[in-house]
Each structure stands twice: as C-alpha cells, then as structure tokens.
Structure 1
C-alpha cells in the first residue's frame, strides 16, 4: 500500500472514530433549536410532552405575542411556528434548577413550579395561559401583586423614575384598574388620612407608621375606605382603599403611589417640580419585607 493510500485509510478511520464519539456524547444545552437538551427548560404545545417544543436556557419575562419577535415553538409536530405565549400545555425541566411558569408577563400572577428534572402538564389555570417563566424563582412577591392581591397590576413609574415630568419621583406608582382593592403592604398604625377627591386638585393620603421598622409607608391617589382612621392598627394585607384618581387629572391615569419614608411621618415628600430626593432608594427595604419592585 502506498503512503498516500495509507494516509487516506487512516484519515477515514479517524473520521469514523470521531463520528462514533460524537454520536455517543449526550446532547447539552445549545441554541434554541426545538430539541429538549440537557440543561434546558422546554415547553410543549400538547399535553403529556407531545407536539412541538420550545426550549430555553434562562428566564423569559415576556414571550411576546406576535411573529416575528415572539418566542415560538421550533420543534417538529403540532404547534410548530406558533408563539408560545398562552399556547403551552406541558413542560420538561431538564435544567438543574426549579423553574416557575407564570400566568402573566413579568413573572406575575398565578404560577406553577417544576423541580429540576420534572416532566408534567400545566395545571388548569396555566394550560394555554402561560406568559413568562423564571429559573430559580425568588420567594419574594411582586409589589404589583401584593398591593392588589390579584394579577393585572404593574409598576408604571419606579422610584426616581420620572422621564418627562420635572422633579424627582419619591415613590413607586402601581396601577391596575379603578376600583381595585388596595391592600396594606406593611403593618402599622395610621398617622394620617385625607379622603381627597377625583381630579388633579383632590390628593388623598393614607400614612401607616411601623414603629419596629421606624418607617412610614404612604399611599396616595386612592379612595380610602371609610373605616380607616388615624390611630387604627393596620395589618399587612388588610384592605385600606380602592384604586382611584384622587389628585390625578383623569381616570385613565389612575394609580396608587406607594412611598417609604424614614421615621414617623404623615405626608408624602414633594415629587413634582422638586429637584431633590428626600427619601432613600426603597429597594432594600422592600426586599427585606419580601417584595420585588415589580
């Protein structure tokens, strides 16, 4: 056998060996390709892990609802090419972390957890009603959920989050819909209540002071419940008001302004047209109380 032929035979043998090794190696998480590889979390279009697959290696806070920008089912089978939002029926969690599937975008609303390695169907609430998922979900509750004790709320302006309004925003604005129950986020004693009225000139206020934390949480723009009075002891989660537009120009801009102040206070700090922040960033406080600023 000549040298050229010997090299060709050796090369072919090496290629076969390499191919065999490649074939034997287990699949691992890679680009989203519609195959549920090790390390991935996968949504299935049908129940019992049937139909097209959409595979992920991390958290997604909003799947999107329209092509071409949405996350879609990529694998072969029923559902291929459809956006996964509100279309998934089962999952396989091949990652080494717990993954939580949520009813709403931004990791909010009802949810179902899947431990590492778990396969299963989405429950009746989440089947075809999935909007986001989160790897290693936090045990904290989103402020927008806790304030209204139901899904559908969202943060509309964060702390110091003004973009077109002059001044520095001293709290967090959260909105859901006019008439939604507003719940106390922290227990304490009511130090001030102003009923206010709808429209830009009728600002309402509820101030609740927690002596052990030495913090006052202030709620603006709501319609305070008639039974809430100065001196009342308020428990965490207690209904104290309804969402409204007291001190806001129109009902379409209704929201609840939630503000954290140091010490015992009765009124909110000035935000609009005030260039100086009086309150500290509340993120660490809310986190310590079991909340995410979402």
Structure 2
C-alpha cells in the first residue's frame, strides 16, 4: 500500500508539473505575441528610422517610462537597424494601429510641458523635429482629451516678420498654426491643401471649406476656434471642453498685443465668443 501511495502521489505530481509546464508553455508565446517586433492591429509602434524603416518596437498600451539602459529598458525588437537598442530617445517614426489617439511625450510620466505629438488612429508618420530621438513616454488617450495650457510659441516677444508658415509673427494666426503643427501633428501653413492663402483669421472658415477641412458648430480639444466678427476676426487653439459647455483656449494677440493668454469661453457670436471650429484631425 505505501508503494501504491507513493506511485499515486508521483503520478499526481507529474500531472501537476505537466499542467504547470503546459501553462508556462502557453504563457510564453502570449507574451511574445504582445511584443514580437511586428506592428499588429491594436498596437502602437515605434520605428528606429524615419519613414518607418529599421527595427520596430510594438506596444499594446500606454507606457510612462521606457527605461534608458539595458537590461530592463523597452527595446526595438524587429529585424533591421537599431534592433536591441532602447527605444527612449531613439525613435524616428511611428504607426498607430490602435483605435485611440496616441500622444508621444518629450518627457517621462506623460509630461507634455515641453513638447508632445498626437497620432490619430491609423496615423503613420515621422516624429516631429522636436520629438525625433526625444521620445520618453506615450499614452493612449480618448478622443477629445484635453491639451495642457502652455505658451510654447517659438516667436514669443517678436512683433514683426513672417514665420516659417507664412503668417505674421505674434499674431493669433501664427500661434494657431504653430499649435496645429506642434500639438495636433498636422503640417498646416498659409497655403495648406493648395489654397492661395488662408489669410486673416476670419477667412479661415471659408479656406477650410475650399480645402475640404471639416468645420463644426461645437468645439473639441485640438480644434481651431474662429470668431468671424471684427475687421480681421480671431482664432485660438481649443485645449479643453468642459462639462458645462464652456471650453478653454490658448491664444495670442487678444488680451494683450502680441502676447499669450489662456481663457475659458463659450460658443456664440459676441466679441469674446467663437462660433466655428476647424477640425484638422
């Protein structure tokens, strides 16, 4: 009887061990599939080189800190240049195959105070000149999520001359163009989508219509808000939409000449309101 008992226990142990090994054998491929160096549906992927060349690093969710040294950092896993290198401050392009907007941050911890770039669902493009090889975290965000209020305009204090997007420096149009380019990730300029010019602020709605860029009557974070009244009109960047229907904007050349301001405003046609919203993405 003792011998039988030992054999039964041995069989049970072998069975348990076999089951455990079976679980481990299944778990390992599942982890590999999560990050296998291929950009699969549902993933956000970095590429080591511009134009989606070189090794790939694929991710199914947000990451607040990639790590910066081996072992322990998130690395490029696919074949090609850069394979095995840490992805922090090493990516040049990205492809968003998730169903949400993905925001890439210059700093760890989803800190966008210096710079960030949004990738809409399906977007496949190079990182901006600021974010290229300066990517430290990324986050999946819901549509319409807020943008940090900040004065990141590169020509603050300048009141004359033309910016690289062909608007006058210090004006609301120049700042709005900068915000669309740096925050939304759309390469907007005064001749965007073949227009002779987008012109003064009050002309942007008509220009958007000709260019096929959608215009709405209610705001979403990331929109350009347009006031049609006045000699030149006014444009601002929508940073947040509040539950009570008001929304917040970053702007230039309104509260003070050629200077930044952040306000909470509402939809309407008064001088301190906005009635149209251009949605570049």
**TM-score, normalising length from structure 2?**
0.39
Asked which structure has the greater CA Rg, the reply is: 1
**TM-score, normalising length from structure 1?**
0.38
Higher strand share: 1
